[in-house]
Amino acid sequence: MDINVKGITKTYGPQKALDNLSFKVRTGEILGFLGPNGAGKTTTMKAITCFISPNVGDITVGGKSVLENPDEVKKNIGYLPENNPLYLDMPVMDYLQFIGELQGVAKSKLRDRVREMVAKCGLNDEKHKKIGELSKGYRQRVGLAQALIHDPEVLILDEPTTGLDPNQIIEIRELIKEIGREKTVILSSHILAEVEATCDRVLIINKGKIVADGSPSELRHKAQGNEVLRVGIQGGTSQEIYDALSALAETAVVSFADDSKTLFEVESQQGLSSCESIFKVCVDKGWYLTQLTPLEKNLEDIFRELTGGNINVTAI
């Protein structure tokens, strides 16, 4: 089920939380939604889930408007908010049954649906405990189970791995990826490596505007700029190797990459690659090429560039 956000703006008094924001999420896609605090991520999620209405623009979920048909939209959405509000005094099974009733799951199917969600979310060993007795990781699993209890086509997850240990993060990640094979998922997170490992596509928002949109590999490629290589060469002195690399026509900048001056970072001229010339110079001089590795920006580098100061929206 597609989500189409069309030119939405949301203001709180003089503050503009969202500024003519537009994007589309396709069926079966896991979208990672990134941005610094106050960027507008949670506001966007609340608008999609019909908790708030935009001042301008509209959002459609499966072709239905959140403004004109909010009740129909809500039936198709499962939502796990950041603070994961749960009734701590209720046992897991009772809570999921209660949420299923609120979501309109048919009584004839409710018991089987609760059992299915308990199994799917890995809650079998904890299902008879009160929620207040569960660890943070298992509470997040209960939050996912309640978001899925009515079998929605769309899943909205706001910081689903907050406060989890590394093992719990991996477990929740695998669960989200499994769910994403069948549903449309929007995942908000501050853990950039988590988004990169989980999501098909990344959308970075800053000050209510989109500043980057693409798969993690696409964003790295577009942000890379000139080719940068980590080069290791043996058989000559550091100065000889440095001079030879600097003399290559394709090379823009050469620098030492370590204190021992045995590794070099080579930045190529714009639009050119130095790989072939580096190989040839080693052959000509009888040197041994021990390393030739392209250096890529990771998602954290891109995020910091786009949200750390003055942003060029057309940069990516």
Instruction: State yes or no: pLDDT of 224 exceeds 70.
Output: no
Query: Average pLDDT of 105-115?
Result: 94
Residue 222 or residue 169, greater confidence:
169
Residue appearing with tokens 């209660």: 98
User: Considering the chain, what is the average pLDDT of its residues?
Assistant: 88
pLDDT (0 to 100) of residue 225:
67
Q: CA dist 84 to 39, 145, 197, 201, Å?
A: 21, 12, 23, 24
Give the long-range contacts of residues 180-184, CB within 8 A, separation 24 or more. Answer: 180/28, 180/29, 180/30, 181/28, 182/28, 183/1, 183/28, 183/152, 183/153, 183/154, 183/155, 184/1, 184/2, 184/3, 184/25, 184/26, 184/27, 184/28, 184/29, 184/153, 184/154, 184/155
pLDDT (0 to 100) of residue 172:
81
Three-state DSSP class for residue 65: strand
- Is residue 20 a contact partner of residue 205, using CB atoms and an 8 Å limit? no
Q: Compute the CA torsion angle 209, 41, 18, 6 (nearest 10 deg).
A: 80
128-132, 237-241, 262-266, 299-303: which range is least confident on average?
299-303
Which tens digit of pLDDT belongs to each residue from 274-290? 999 999 999 999 999 99
Instruction: State yes or no: pLDDT of 314 exceeds 70.
Output: no
**What are the residue ranges of CATH 3.30.70.100 in the chain?**
223-294
Q: Is the dihedral of CA 145, 150, 153, 155 positive or negative?
A: negative
| pTM for the predicted model, two decimal places | 0.73
pLDDT (0 to 100) of residue 58:
96
Which tens digit of pLDDT belongs to each residue from 168-194? 788 888 888 888 888 899 998 877 777
Instruction: State yes or no: pLDDT of 300 exceeds 80.
Output: no
pLDDT (0 to 100) of residue 241:
94
Residue 143 or residue 315, greater confidence:
143
pLDDT (0 to 100) of residue 315:
33
Query: Average pLDDT of 89-109?
Result: 95
pLDDT (0 to 100) of residue 181:
84
* Per-residue pLDDT band at 120 (split at 50, 70, 90): confident
Amino acid at 155: L
Instruction: State yes or no: pLDDT of 246 exceeds 70.
Output: yes
pLDDT (0 to 100) of residue 136:
86
Query: Average pLDDT of 120-139?
Result: 91
- Is residue 45 a contact partner of residue 158, using CB atoms and an 8 Å limit? yes
Neighbours of 247 (CB within 10 A): 11
pLDDT (0 to 100) of residue 124:
92
Which tens digit of pLDDT belongs to each residue from 9-62? 999 999 999 999 999 999 889 999 888 888 899 899 999 999 999 999 999 999
Mind giving me the DSSP string for 242-310?
HHHHHTSTTEEEEEE-STTS-EEEEEEPTT---HHHHHHHHHHHT-EEEEEEE----HHHHHHHHHSSS
Instruction: State yes or no: pLDDT of 313 exceeds 50.
Output: no
Instruction: State yes or no: pLDDT of 137 exceeds 90.
Output: no
Instruction: State yes or no: pLDDT of 316 exceeds 50.
Output: no
The β-bridge partners of 21 are 8
Assigned CATH for 223-294? 3.30.70.100
The β-bridge partners of 188 are 33, 158
pLDDT (0 to 100) of residue 34:
87
State the fold for domain 3-222: Rossmann fold (3.40.50)
Tokens coding 224: 């890379």
pLDDT (0 to 100) of residue 160:
85
The percent of residues above 70 in pLDDT, for the chain, comes to: 95
**What are the residue ranges of CATH 3.40.50.300 in the chain?**
3-222
Residue appearing with tokens 């609120």: 102
Nearest to 21 by CA among 32, 31, 29, 11: 11
Q: CA dist 233 to 8, 250, 254, 256, Å?
A: 54, 18, 13, 12
